[in-house]
């Protein structure tokens, strides 16, 4: 009697496990930093503290003249960076963020490369996350460029050493630089909220110029509303209202109230418009 062989179960081939790679993210960052307009924007931001330092060196301001920190530059060069951040926040930094975030999705759609990106395969969620992460990195780069060039030119033209804070206390130069680094991080976080708005607008249109202009227009409009006295009830909820609160980092002890409020508002805007961008982009028809 012959033995009956048990049937051999052949398992279906499984798809190879795809490890999480940062190649797409690195490629996106390289594309952003290679673009000439983004390089020019960073050069303009780097020039801002240089021009401020030269102007102060030629004609020192009196107490109360000009923006915050300006009169303290002659006592310590590190305040060039703080002054430069104050100067570039209303227009130049929002413009930089508007250009990069507005181009994130609409630039791919306008050039016809968006549908090819999603064939690679790259999920829409991952594509959107990489685009926004790249915008956040550029926001941080822009803020750090202003801070770094401010410190460098400040050390060249003005005294260094211990710095007198807004509260009257004195900290070492290293302590002042650390507070400057925290201020740059705070400013980058505030700009990241605007970047989320730009990302959402970028999913609505296929023209990058229209997305850039719309994002910049939103930033300008919100700042105008923030300066209308009759709208004081809604101003604490505007994303631009807390942009200059990094000045509280120059107090001893650090006044964290407004800084925390600013971060919470920035996070809320980033979450809201990030969700709107995801909802729009994941249902968007890009077959044409």
pLDDT in tens, 83-134: 999 999 999 999 999 999 999 888 776 555 555 555 555 688 888 999 999 9
Burial class (CB in 10 A: 0-12, 13-18, 19+), 172: exposed
Instruction: Supply the pLDDT for residue 229.
Output: 93
Residue 60 neighbours by CB under 8 Å, 6+ apart: 74
Q: How far apart, in whole angstroms, are the C-alpha atoms of residue 132 and residue 12? A: 38
Instruction: Supply the pLDDT for residue 283.
Output: 81
Burial class (CB in 10 A: 0-12, 13-18, 19+), 258: middle
Helix axes 208-225, 92-104, angle to 10 degrees: 140
Residue 4 neighbours by CB under 8 Å, 6+ apart: none
Regions in the chain scoring below 70 on pLDDT: 1-21, 61-68, 109-122, 285-288
pTM to 2 decimals? 0.87
CB 206 within 8 A of CB 111: no
Residue 55 neighbours by CB under 8 Å, 6+ apart: none
Instruction: Supply the pLDDT for residue 127.
Output: 87
Instruction: Supply the pLDDT for residue 266.
Output: 98
Distance of CA 237 to the CA centre of its chain: 19
């Amino acid at each position: 009697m012959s033995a009956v062989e048990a049937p051999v179960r052949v398992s279906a081939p499984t798809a190879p496990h795809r490890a999480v790679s940062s190649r797409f993210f690195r490629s996106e960052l390289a594309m952003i930093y290679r673009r000439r307009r983004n390089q020019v924007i960073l050069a303009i931001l780097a020039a801002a503290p240089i021009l401020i330092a030269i102007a102060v060196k030629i004609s020192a301001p009196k107490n109360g003249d000009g923006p915050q920190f300006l009169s303290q530059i002659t006592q310590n060069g590190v305040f060039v960076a703080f002054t430069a951040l104050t100067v570039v926040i209303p227009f130049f930094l929002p413009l930089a963020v508007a250009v990069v975030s507005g181009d994130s999705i609409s630039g791919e759609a306008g050039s016809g490369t968006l549908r090819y990106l999603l064939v690679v395969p790259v999920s829409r969620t991952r594509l959107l996350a990489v685009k926004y992460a790249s915008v956040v990195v550029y926001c941080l780069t822009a803020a750090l460029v202003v801070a770094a060039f401010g410190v460098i030119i400040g050390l060249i033209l003005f005294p260094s050493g211990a710095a007198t804070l807004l509260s009257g206390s004195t900290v070492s130069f290293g302590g002042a630089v650390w507070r400057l680094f925290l201020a740059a991080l705070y400013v980058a976080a505030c700009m990241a909220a605007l970047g989320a708005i730009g990302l959402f607008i970028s999913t609505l249109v296929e023209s990058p110029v229209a997305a850039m202009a719309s994002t910049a227009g939103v930033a300008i409009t919100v700042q105008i509303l923030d300066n209308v006295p009759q709208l004081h009830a809604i101003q604490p909820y505007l994303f631009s209202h807390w942009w200059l609160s990094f000045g509280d980092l120059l107090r001893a002890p650090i006044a964290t109230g407004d800084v925390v409020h600013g971060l919470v508002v920035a996070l809320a805007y980033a979450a809201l418009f990030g969700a709107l961008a995801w909802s729009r982009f994941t249902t968007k028809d890009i077959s044409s």
